[in-house]
Structure 1
Amino acid sequence: MIRPKLSLRRPLAVLAAALIGMTGAAVVATPAAAHHTTITATAVCDQLSGERVITWKVVNSERDKAATIKKVTAEPSSPVQVLVPGAEAVDLQGVAINRGGFVEAVQRVPGDTASAKLTVEARWDNRRERTNDGTIRLDRDAPCQPAPKCIDASQAKYSHTFDGPNGKATVKLEGDLPLCGEEKQYFTLVSYFAPRPQFATPQYVYGEPDSNFLGGTQTEIELNVGVPDCHTQVDLIWGGVDEVIDPLVEDGPRYGNKKLGERGAPGNRSSGPPGWYNGGSKNCTTPASTFASSCDGTVTVSLSNDGSISKYPVEFEVRGENGWSKTVTVAPGKADNETVVPAENAGKIEVLVEGKVIENGTYSWERPEDCPLPTVTTDADCETFGLTASNPEGGVPVKVEFTYGDKTETRTVAPGSSEKVTFPAGDDEAALVVLPELGLELEVIYAPEGCGGGGGGEEPPGLPVTGAAAGGIAAGAIALLAVGAVLFVLARRRRVHFTA
């Protein structure tokens, strides 16, 4: 019968379809129905301790059942603890996880740990148990290092200020960390005498360098030095006073990169302006001259280079009239007293350094007050009136003007010689002797003995008669010598009467 057949096949097909559907549901549901925990982790570096801090997150897969962690295994082995606000941390083992919830626990591992693993065995309310694990890679980052509490002097950075013209500088340790332990870093400020306002040698340290260190609680220093009132160099250098170079000479050592602000180490470890200065407005010498006139017309020029800032030799040029010149080099701290300008060149003298006349460096010969003066003697009789001018040895030639009546005779008397003029006797009672270069005048009365009338013959009334004419002339000559010595010292441009 056909019909029963058909009715049998249909129920069988329906049953087969139902079995396939149930099998598929079981396969899909099995993972969903399996109790498990999901374990993930994050990590940070604790720079205070240098440890990695791993935060493990354990999630309960079951939304309707709580779970209790029965066993915890950590690799590396160190406590895994749940942080409880306001209370002490507790171990992850034994902690309950709410339905569908999670719990976080912290584990500390060494800073160079490459990876970590956490294995958790949990048990649910329906007494099902499951063990799961999670891992985290830690070697993708550099090892965790503790934050430094200080900085090694060899790694420290600095900053500085610099005022070379005024000899001032500051140096400061950069950052918030002091130098480690007992370490110190010295810096020194030093100034020099220099021969030029640009770099030149030799240079000599001026005064005392100022040196101080950074270390311990001292993180900033101020340095001050004196600066000479002349050409100078000022340097801010890396190191203590044992680094100071004195003197700085040609082909000698240099500070180079030790100067702060240089491009190379160690100077480039301090940021700031260039730590060097060259300047000054005048030479580091004290050239001076003094002059002394001699009775013979020469002038001795004394040259000195011994002032407080005389650190270099000075080349003097002494110039006189008529093209006369002499160059003299005087060492620092010394003097030269042997430059004699000849009489014929001593009318105007100049002392120059580097082509410029120095202060108080001009002079002209002046007759010293203690020089012996020329003398005048007479040789008078009834017919003639003779006058003789004598110039002592060691002096200069002297111009003498003799005037009697309407006649004037001029003579130049060389040192150590005499010049005589003779006038015919006349009615004039006196002759005038003038030394124009010395500003001196002498009036000599003509009154020979034994002559009557004005110029000769009878004796004039009122004139003393003491003996022979020759005796009177000799006495008058001696008197003139004596009076003349006083006369020419005290009587400038004065007319003095003397009776011959």
Structure 2
Amino acid sequence: MTTKRFFTPGVRVIRPKLSLRRPLAVLAAALIGMTGAAAVATPASAHHTTITATAVCDQLSGERVITWKVVNSERRSAATIKKVTTTPSTKVQVLVPGAEAVDLQGVAIPKGGFVEAVQRVPGETATAELVVEGRWDNRREQTNKGSINLAADAACAPAPKCVDASDAKYSHTFDGPKGTATVKLEGDLPLCGDAKQYFTLVSYFAPRPKFATPQYVYGAPASDFLGGTQTEIALNVGVPDCHTQVDLIWGGVDEVIDPLVENGKRYGDKKLGEKGAPGNRSSGPQGWYNGGSKNCTTPASTFASACDGTVTVSLSNDGTLSRYAVEFEVRGENGWSKKVTVEPGKADNETVVPAENAGAIEVLVDGKVIEGGTYKWQRPEDCPLPTVTTDADCETFALTASNPEGGVPVKVEFTYGDKTETRTVAPGTSEKVSFKAGDEETALVVLPELDLELEVVYAPEDCGGGGGGEEPPGLPVTGAAAGGIAAGAIALLAVGAVLFVMARRRRIHFTA
């Protein structure tokens, strides 16, 4: 049975709703890109049909949906479509609300009205054609043709259900100092099939806070993939507490370079956020970081003072991350300086700071004083001390300071009464001072640099009550008496040495 719909001139024509076997709502949501290109057959007589067409792409099926509009040119006579020919040869149907669609062939077109029919053709169709043979109520017949060019439209294909790994786009975050990053698959579609895309976060310890080589991987890189239902990953890697480089790279752990050396391999565009592929397939900040505030090596120094005033500086380059040679600089007073390079795991104990430069020593690496890297010469406890001997008679009181070999020059202050004499005694030499005998019974000998004091009592023999500077009555002191004084001087030499060893800032008395 043929369903006829008539359209009367002057009356508003309501187009039939499209309701093919596929629900109209689903079709409408999937259709994009509409064209209006159509060709109209030139009528051979007054009775004719005018055919135009529009097309959309059904992304659910990948088909093009053509809507043909066939218009009756006659306002006084209805027409019936007797024959329909299509290219491609697929059905052309009129959509009837609330009922099954019917073929265009056999449908009546009212006076001056039109009918619309839908045809589905493959998505790759370049052109489509509809030929309609119509018969009017007055028995006139006419065949007309319409066509549409589909090649100018965008390609029509089914909407994808997944994204190929080679076409996927990503976005990422990156925090180098903290060693964290995230990577996310963009869009709503997962990767197709079993495809997996790996990303890796790796940290290095480095010789400088900017890019420099060699660099060595610190700890284990963090690596994970996007694929299947996993569309976002978080990566977290340990970062050394020293100069470092952190990289977020495209690929798995097999892409990690260890070590990074001069003129060796580089990550290049594999780093996410780079301008080239594949790194530019992820949008976000640059996925690399160089920084750190201190050396990854563990430079250290120790000091040893010698009795001659020199200091031997021992330098070491050891530690869990010590894979770099360290250049030390040892500085002393008066502009003295020496540079020493120590290889990883090694030590150097051959740097000797001269005595005249050992008052303030610094050990530096990269221009900064290392921890524990300051020192000044300190007299070793086992160094021999200077000695003081006396030579006294009724006229003079003489004191002699002697400095052993292998020591440093010593400053000695001799004070008797209101007079003070100062001498600097070189190693292996002696200095003697003589005072005119007076009423004072003691002299003070001070070695300020050694923090030592010695008090010497003036008590010559046979001076008639002594100490006043006048010769006693009778013969001068000679013979045995002179020998006794000399013996006393020798004894004081030994006693003096002991006194200096024992007395630091204590005033010790002995009799000359």
What TM-score results when the alignment is normalised by the length of structure 1? 0.70
Q: Which residue of 1 aligns with 2:39?
A: none
Counterpart of 2:351, as a letter, is: T
Contact map agreement 1:117 1:133 (CA 8 A) in 2 = no
2: CA distance, partners of 1:471 / 1:373: 22
User: One-letter code of the match for 2:444?
Assistant: L
Superposed CA deviations along residues 80-116 of structure 1, whole A, max 9, x for unmatched, are: 3332223443444565555554443323222223444
The within-5 A match list for 1:287-366 is 289-306=301-318, 312-321=324-333, 324-332=336-344, 334-353=346-365, 361-366=373-378
Letter aligned with residue 146 of structure 1? P
- 1:49, CA displacement in angstroms? 1.0
The answer to whether the 8 A contact 2:387-2:493 is kept is no
Q: Which residue in the other structure is 1:253 paired with? A: 265
Compared with structure 1, are the counterparts of its residues 409 and 101 closer, same or farther at alpha carbon in structure 2 (3 Å cutoff)? closer
User: Hey, what does 1:178 align to over in structure 2?
Assistant: 190
- The residue number in structure 2 matching 1:461 is none
Partner in structure 2 of residue 136 of structure 1: 147
Q: Partner amino acid for 1:85?
A: P
Paired position in structure 1 for 2:502: 486
Seen in structure 2, the aligned counterparts of structure 1 residues 78 and 477 have a Cα distance that, compared at 3 Å, is: same
Percentage identity across paired residues of the two chains: 80
Is 2:271–2:287's contact at 8 Å kept on the other side of the alignment? yes
Give the match for residue 408 of structure 2: 396
Do the aligned partners of 1:375 and 1:481 also contact (CA within 8 Å) in 2?
Answer: yes
| Bigger Rg, which one | 1
Match of 1:105 in 2: 117
Which residues of 2 match residues 16-415 of structure 1 at below 5 A?
31=45, 40-59=52-71, 74-92=86-104, 95=107, 97-98=109-110, 101-118=113-130, 132=143, 134=145, 136-138=147-149, 140-141=151-152, 143-160=155-172, 170-195=182-207, 199-205=211-217, 209-221=221-233, 233-277=245-289, 289-306=301-318, 312-321=324-333, 324-332=336-344, 334-353=346-365, 361-376=373-388, 391=403, 394-402=406-414
Check the 8 A contact 1:285/1:309 in 2, yes or no. yes
Instruction: Output the CA distance in 2 between the equivalents of 1:42 and 1:348.
Output: 95
Q: 1:469 to 1:49 in 2, by over 3 A?
A: same
TM-score, normalization by structure 2: 0.68
Distance 1:156 1:358 in 2: 51
What CA deviation, in whole Å up to 9, does each residue of 1:277-334 have, x standing for no partner? Answer: 5566666666554433233311122334557876643333323345543221133565
Note closer, same or farther for the CA distance 1:94–1:397 as it changes in structure 2 (3 Å cut): same
Distance in 1 between the 2:142 and 2:381 partners? 128
Give unpaired runs (5+ residues) of structure 2.
1-43, 473-483
Higher helix share: 1
* Runs of 5+ unmatched residues, structure 1: 1-29, 458-467
Deviations, residues 51-87 of structure 1 (Å, cap 9, x unaligned): 1223334556676666666665555444433322234
Tell me the equivalent position of 2:29: none
Distance 1:326 1:192 in 2: 31
From the superposition, tell whether residues 137 and 479 of structure 1 become closer, same or farther in structure 2 (CA, over 3 Å): same
The residue identity in structure 1 corresponding to 2:161 is K
Q: What value does the CA root-mean-square deviation take over the aligned residues?
A: 4.8
Once structures 1 and 2 are overlaid, which stretch shifts more, 225-234 or 264-273? Answer: 225-234
Deviation at 1:404, TM superposition (A): 5.6
Distance 1:118 1:289 in 2: 96
How many residues are treated as equivalent by the alignment? 455
- My pick for the range that moved more, 148-157 or 475-484, is 475-484
